[in-house]
Amino acid sequence: MAIIRDVMPTFQLYQPTSVADAQKLLQQHESDALVLAGGLDSMDWLKDRIRKPKVVVDLGGINELRGIRETSDGVHIGAMTTLTEVAQNVVIRQKYGVLAQASEVVASPQIRNQGTVAGNVSQDTRCWYYRAGWPCYRAGGNICYADTPVGRNREHAILHAERCIAVNPSDTAPALIALDAKFVVSTPKGEQVVDAEDYFVGPDLDITRMNILRPGYLLTEIRIPSTWAGAEFYFEKVRDRNVWDFPLMNVASAIRSSADVIQNIRIAVNAVAARPLRLKMVEDVVRGKPRNAATGESAGKLAVQGAVPLQFNAYKIPLMRNLVKRAISGVQGAAWAS
């Protein structure tokens, strides 16, 4: 008989109205506290009774964490800004369209109305063994249940797997990496600004976390510089269902070209590893080359070098190869082709 675990554990709820007050609470309670942004990832953990924090810090009342502000050198996005607001913002759509595209395909309209941009990049992995409370490596155990002869691993990693083969599920993360965004993190020692790609960590650095946030840390803002404003963007997400689903894989690129020759490029993929991957080798190879199918073909082959398929996810290798090809060439096609 299935175990019903939909009654949340008891906890103290705090609803601060300023970042400073939230920071004090997080420092005071450290690992006993759970941060609640849009609540979509957090509520899953609470309803399933897998996580039982003593304190929940709800950021919903902190107005300074909301909104999108254009500056002389880009845009600043408050951590509690919803995905719908990001997707519909005029400045982002006109100048940083890859982020609008990524935000617009997250889950469903109802979820985007509630979910926040900080929550989307900070959510935990969706590996069902881990989410169901199995004592795997990521949960402090000594086994990866997905990486066994009977494990189910269709959605799992093909690159950079080290003990844990769970993947990062964010749609906005590769777009923000392509835009060279900066993440502003409030820490007990002061404000820390990190490159988007460095916000995420893999199991080689810390198998229990997917980003740099520690007890007492708070992501407060995402800053997008004007460097890539108005570039040629490409974003694509492949999923089982057109609504609600997490990505089987996604790709984002920003390209500056002249006479159809690639002058500069940033490209990132997600759902292929525990962290979103910026494909620096691909970037280096395609600079100075024509933006066409041939360049895309060679880039796709380079991108999947070192990929190791599992029992049920070999399809991810041709999928990644073709998504990278299309992100370079800008041509839509059948990503599932081998």
What CATH number is attached to the domain comprising 71?
3.30.465.10
Q: Which two tokens stand for residue 279?
A: 């494909």
Domain boundary among 27, 49, 64: 64
**Residues 100, 203: one domain?**
yes
- Going from the C-alpha of 248 to that of each of 98, 132, 151, 153, 262, the distances in angstroms are 18, 20, 17, 11, 28
**Residues 83, 203: one domain?**
yes
Q: What is the pLDDT of residue 18?
A: 97
**Residues 217, 251: one domain?**
no
Per-position pLDDT tens, the chain of length 338: 455 556 788 999 999 999 999 999 999 999 999 999 999 899 888 888 788 999 999 999 999 999 999 999 999 999 999 999 999 999 999 999 999 999 999 999 999 999 999 999 999 999 999 999 999 999 999 999 999 999 999 999 999 999 999 999 999 999 999 999 999 999 999 999 999 999 999 999 999 999 999 999 999 999 999 999 999 999 999 999 988 899 999 999 999 999 999 999 999 999 999 999 999 999 999 999 999 999 999 999 999 999 999 999 999 999 999 999 999 998 665 454 43
Q: Cα–Cα distance between 14 and 22 in angstroms, integer?
A: 9
Q: Cα–Cα distance between 86 and 74 in angstroms, integer?
A: 14
**Residues 110, 259: one domain?**
no
Q: What is the pLDDT of residue 243?
A: 86
Give the amino acid at 288: G
Q: What sign has the CA pseudo-torsion 165, 138, 207, 222?
A: positive
Domain that holds residue 76: 65-122+168-228
In a domain, 70, yes or no: yes
Strands 218-225 and 182-187: antiparallel
Q: What is the pLDDT of residue 50?
A: 86
Q: What is the pLDDT of residue 333?
A: 52
**Residues 108, 179: one domain?**
yes
Q: In what order do the strands lie in the sheet with 249-258?
A: 232-238, 249-258, 261-270, 277-278
Q: First and final CA of the chain: distance in angstroms?
A: 41
Q: What is the pLDDT of residue 242?
A: 87
Q: What is the pLDDT of residue 244?
A: 85
**Residues 296, 217: one domain?**
no
Q: How many domains does the chain have?
A: 3
In a domain, 98, yes or no: yes
Q: What is the pLDDT of residue 47?
A: 82
In a domain, 282, yes or no: yes
